[in-house]
């Protein structure tokens, strides 16, 4: 038990020594003008560094991801066609497709699928 504690303390001491040496020997400057600027390639920006965010484009992207995942969930339904009861398979598939169509109708009704606002 004592040797484990001694090894643990030696490891902690060595790691602290290396961290202290790396902090002392590093050439990092906290107030470097080039590092604090929005562009790190050496030239000063002439306009605002951040582009205005399009909320409409973001919502269309989220809708695409949701429907893309739902389509990926339909592949196991196709693969299990021969393995399950046909009546249950039709009920599950019909329910899933109805939910997709209701979601699509809701998005269409909310005018989220229009590119022009």
pLDDT in tens, 1-34: 788 899 999 999 999 999 998 888 876 656 666 6
Domains held by the chain: number? 1
For residue 65, being part of any structural domain is answered with yes
The predicted pLDDT at position 7 comes to: 92
Question: Scanning the structure block, which residue is given the tokens 């030239």?
Answer: 43
**Cα 38 from chain centre:** 23
Whether 116 is in a domain gets the answer no
Q: Please check whether residue 22 lies inside any domain of the structure.
A: no
Share of the chain above pLDDT 90, in %: 17
Residue 96, class by beta-carbon neighbours within 10 Å (0-12 exposed, 13-18 middle, 19+ buried)? middle
What is the structure's pLDDT at 31?
Answer: 64
Whether 102 is covered by a domain: the verdict is yes
Whether residue 15 contacts residue 21, with contact meaning beta carbons closer than 8 Å, is answered with: no
Q: Domain containing 81: what range?
A: 56-109
Place of tokens 């599950």: 92
Q: What pLDDT shows up at residue 18?
A: 92
72 is a domain residue? yes
CA gap 56, 63 in Å, rounded: 11
Residue 36 counted as domain residue: no
Whether residue 101 is contained in a domain is answered as yes
Classify residue 48: in a domain, yes or no. no
pLDDT at residue 106, as a whole number = 86
Ranges of residues in the chain with a pLDDT under 50 are: none
Write down the pTM of the prediction: 0.46
């Amino acid at each position: 038990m004592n040797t484990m504690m001694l090894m643990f303390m030696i490891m902690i001491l060595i790691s602290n020594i290396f961290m202290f040496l790396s902090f002392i020997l590093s050439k990092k400057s906290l107030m470097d003008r080039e590092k604090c600027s929005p562009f790190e390639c050496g030239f000063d920006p002439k306009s605002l560094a951040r582009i205005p965010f399009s909320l409409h484009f973001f919502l269309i992207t989220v809708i695409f991801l949701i429907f893309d995942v739902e389509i990926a969930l339909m592949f196991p339904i196709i693969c299990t066609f021969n393995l399950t009861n046909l009546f249950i398979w039709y009920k599950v598939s019909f329910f899933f497709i109805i939910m997709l169509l209701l979601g699509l109708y809701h998005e269409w009704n909310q005018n989220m699928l229009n590119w022009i606002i």
